[in-house]
Structure 1
Amino acid sequence: MAKRVSHWNAGCPVARALDVIGDWWSLLIIRDAFDGVRRFGELQTSLGIAKGMLATRLRDLTDRGILQTAPASDGSAYMEYVLTSKGRGLFLVIVALRQWGEQHLYQADEPRSSMIDRHTRAPVPRLQLHAKDGRRLTWRDTEVLKVAKDPGPAARRR
């Protein structure tokens, strides 16, 4: 098996993010955490993942600050995995993946889960990117600016 290359020091934020959450098990664990699945056994049952693989992924997500362990909410001796603030910041990523999958990976009549607003029970609208002035943005309306490294104090004095 080829060794996985780390992109942790890459200049691209997408590459760095994928270094943390880029395998499917990690994303599915995060998805389940948003759905309220918190215990090792519940995650294993939900995902159908091997214990060793799940333990590795949970340790990695915990080490990287996406999840944290906490005493079980029911007062039992178990530990639970809960999303940190950093982990909760992935909510839009999970919603975007869900909506992309709904749009592109299902037949029109194929049954699927759907995300609804808990208060109104209405379907959650599709995510959209907007400019500061309110215009809807597509990929054609954006570009990535490369930021040059700071040359240091000596170069700035010139």
Structure 2
Amino acid sequence: QEYPDIAPWYQIRSHRRGEHQGTPQHDPAWWKSHLQSYLQRLIQSKHDAIQSLKFAQRSRQWQSGPQPVQKIANTEPDSDPESLSQQYIQEVKQLQALKKQERKVWEYNTRYMHHWQHMKSLQQQSQSSASSRWSAQEWKSFQEQFQRARHRAQKYEYQLRKSTHKITEQYSSDECY
């Protein structure tokens, strides 16, 4: 079954809450790939916001000559150059934080997949005919390796879920589509 290309934040959030039992969205591979694509769309939307702010700042430079005195204060936040620069700085900081979060998610996902695959290979090894001839010491060593791989995979899966929670709570109101 082919999964859709985009996953809105609410689908990722509902996966985190376990509301999609038995659906494609409950598949961990779907969840991780769409968490990464969601982050990429957030980063792209921040890039676009920064570019629009740069354009707004450039377009106001020609207005830097003498201006008529205004008796009514212009309360639009983006009409003030200082406000624009503050907004620009804020957007850049958010973009940097998103890129850092994307790197963390990529790292957690890579480590999770490594330990999960190691755990699966150990399971296959234990089901082979050679495993029946293992000594008690070999079996104990195997069990320790398996438990270590399982523990590490769970650790990185927990980190991915924690990152998902942070991202969905922080950026769920942002429009990135």
Superposed pair shares fold, TM > 0.5: no
Question: Which has the higher Rg, Structure 1 or Structure 2?
Answer: 2
- Considering Cα pairs closer than 8 Å and 6+ residues apart, tell me whether 1 or 2 has the greater RCO: 2
TM-score w.r.t. structure 2 length?
0.24
Structure with greater helix percent: 2
Higher strand share: 1
